[in-house]
């Protein structure tokens, strides 16, 4: 299996498919590169080299106790990109992965990044504070941590339902998607799953967004129940210099179904433009 060993000895698993201009995919919490299987095939079939890694603690990467923070995640991504010597890169990040690619593009890219795409991404910052009164109260994230610690197996099953919008009237529920969410979630070691909550909710990325000097597509479902759009995409687009906003009526947080089809088409159009 292909791995990159980081400076602190963590082994980061990655997949590398197709050939052409590189598209690098960064997954959400608590998933893995498996969340990108449809995109890996679609983008590779469209003539791109598609790289997707498992964040530390997730998937097949090392089960880490330390380094579960946004800056270390971005450094790990840099290790993958530099190991493969990728240039003219298009970064695509979903949810927590959106925070990861934004931090990487802002602080570690070293001229390797040409475009950025985020989908349902956590920047600029999720948690409510005096400077971010529209944010989500810290108690909500405390509840997530408590659920992960108490019974993460059941929590992943419960979380998958609003993640994919399966709790909405008329939704076509996929038990397979719920089961696969649980499967990927159970691959995360507890310390990494727990600490990542702080990383995705409390990391202030206003400065990161302002520092990005390449085109960025900021995409989000308008019915995102996990990362509220008013405190995410609608704020981020006001901060970036070269941004395009694309929202999807009725679409959830999880990339699935009609939303997945539309988003993937928009990503390919943005890359080709």
- Average pLDDT for residues 245-260, to the nearest whole number? 98
- Average pLDDT for residues 51-73, to the nearest whole number? 98
What residues does each domain of the chain span? Answer: 3-272
Global pTM value: 0.97
> How many whole angstroms separate alpha carbon 193 and alpha carbon 148?
7
Handedness of CA 67, 70, 71, 73 (dihedral sign): positive
> How many whole angstroms separate alpha carbon 84 and alpha carbon 173?
39
Closest C-alpha among 130, 103, 137, 117 to residue 205: 103
Query: Can you give the pLDDT at residue 54?
Result: 98
pLDDT digits (tens, 9 = 90+) for 6-55: 999 999 999 999 999 999 999 999 999 999 999 999 999 999 999 999 99
> How many whole angstroms separate alpha carbon 199 and alpha carbon 203?
6
Query: Can you give the pLDDT at residue 147?
Result: 98
pLDDT digits (tens, 9 = 90+) for 156-172: 999 999 999 999 999 99
Active centre residues (catalytic): 95, 224, 253
Closest C-alpha among 99, 85, 117 to residue 214: 117
pLDDT digits (tens, 9 = 90+) for 112-132: 999 999 999 999 999 999 999
Query: Can you give the pLDDT at residue 136?
Result: 96
* pLDDT greater than 90 at residue 1: no
pLDDT digits (tens, 9 = 90+) for 136-160: 999 999 999 999 999 999 999 999 9
Residues linked to residue 145 through DSSP beta bridges, in sequence order: none
Query: Can you give the pLDDT at residue 198?
Result: 98
- Average pLDDT for residues 55-66, to the nearest whole number? 98
Instruction: Tell me the percentage of the chain whose pLDDT exceeds 70.
Output: 100
Task: For 45-56, give the DSSP string.
Answer: HTT-EEEEEPPT
Closest C-alpha among 188, 187, 180, 172 to residue 252: 172
Query: Can you give the pLDDT at residue 195?
Result: 98
Confidence of residue 259 (pLDDT cuts 50, 70, 90): very high
Query: Can you give the pLDDT at residue 89?
Result: 98
Contacts of 225 (CB under 8 A, 6+ apart): 162, 163, 165, 167, 252, 253
Task: For 196-238, give the DSSP string.
Answer: HHHHHHH---HHHHHH--S-EEEEEETT-SSS-GGGTHHHHTT
Neighbours of 75 (CB within 10 A): 21
Query: Can you give the pLDDT at residue 219?
Result: 98
Query: Can you give the pLDDT at residue 248?
Result: 98
* pLDDT greater than 90 at residue 91: yes
Cis geometry, peptide bond prior to residue 49 (ω within 30 degrees of 0) = no
Neighbours of 156 (CB within 10 A): 24
Class of domain 3-272: alpha beta
């Amino acid at each position: 299996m292909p791995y990159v060993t980081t400076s602190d000895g963590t082994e980061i698993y990655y997949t590398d498919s197709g050939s052409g201009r590189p598209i690098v995919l960064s997954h959400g919490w608590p998933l893995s590169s498996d969340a990108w299987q449809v995109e890996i095939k679609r983008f590779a079939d469209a003539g791109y080299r598609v790289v997707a890694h498992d964040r530390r603690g997730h998937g097949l990467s090392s089960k880490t106790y330390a380094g579960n923070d946004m800056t270390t995640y971005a450094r790990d991504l840099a290790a993958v990109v530099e190991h493969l010597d990728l240039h003219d890169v298009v970064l695509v990040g979903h949810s927590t992965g959106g925070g990861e690619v934004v931090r990487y593009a802002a602080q570690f890219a070293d001229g390797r990044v040409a475009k950025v795409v985020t989908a349902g991404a956590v920047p600029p910052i999720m948690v409510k504070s005096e400077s971010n009164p529209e944010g989500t109260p810290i108690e909500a994230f405390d509840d997530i941590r408590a659920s992960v610690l108490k019974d993460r197996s059941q929590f992943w099953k419960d979380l998958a339902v609003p993640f994919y919008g399966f709790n909405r009237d008329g939704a076509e529920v996929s038990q397979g998607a719920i089961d696969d969410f649980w499967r990927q979630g159970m691959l995360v070691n507890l310390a990494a799953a727990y600490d990542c909550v702080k990383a995705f909710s409390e990391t202030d990325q206003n400065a990161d967004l302002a520092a990005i000097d390449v085109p960025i597509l900021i995409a989000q479902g308008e019915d995102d129940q996990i990362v509220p759009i008013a405190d995410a995409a609608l704020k981020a687009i006001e901060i970036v210099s070269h941004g395009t906003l694309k929202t999807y009526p009725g679409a959830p947080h999880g990339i699935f179904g009609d939303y997945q089809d539309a988003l993937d088409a928009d990503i390919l159009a943005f890359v080709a433009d």
